Structure 1
């Protein structure tokens, strides 16, 4: 469905710490949004919002994109909880 990876992480970040952070990010997203299918829908709505004028979007898509932003911020905080200060970020990639 989708893959989550940490990008631009420090070279000395242990693999286990990386995997745990990615799992925390995924779990928080899925809890906040209502499961894997809801994560996909919200992510797609957010992608659409990034490329489309708000006036061209439905109210439901706008609301879903806003839910993505809030859930992703919470997931980012949870994901990096044990990592410390970093410039890294989580990439969500849809599986084809």
Structure 2
């Protein structure tokens, strides 16, 4: 599977944004995640791990570290991707694997 098909990113709750700016923000978000998590494979793998841990309601240091790493990466990526877009309160990105 090509790297760009390992996951998708969608910007939500910013309906008045022109499509080209939406696509640019989604691409920035994806790049920022990849830089922090080790490329497309790292993003897809980290997302799968966090989802599995959340489904199982896992606790412990390892689970907490994985979830914290994902949350930190998402927060940084959001800040980078939304920079310069104006009012973005309530706006969020959805990351999915096929």
Task: Report TM bin, short chain.
Answer: 0.7 to 0.9
Per mean C-alpha deviation after superposition, the further-off stretch among 39-48 and 21-30 is: 39-48
1:27-70 deviation digits (Å, cap 9, x = unpaired): 00000111111111111122123222333x682x4422221111
Query: TM-score when scaled to structure 2?
Result: 0.81
> RMSD in angstroms over aligned alpha carbons?
1.8
Segments of structure 1 that go 5 or more residues without pairing to the other structure are none
Matches within 5 A, 1:75-90: 75-86=77-88, 87-90=90-93
Moved over 6 A (4+): none
Tell me, which stretches of 5 or more residues in structure 2 are unaligned?
A: 1-5
Q: Does 1:67 align with 2:72?
A: no
Name the counterpart of 1:6.
Answer: 11
Change (3 A) 1:48 1:58: farther
> How many residues of Structure 1 are paired with residues of Structure 2 in the alignment?
92
TM-score normalised by structure 1 residue count: 0.83
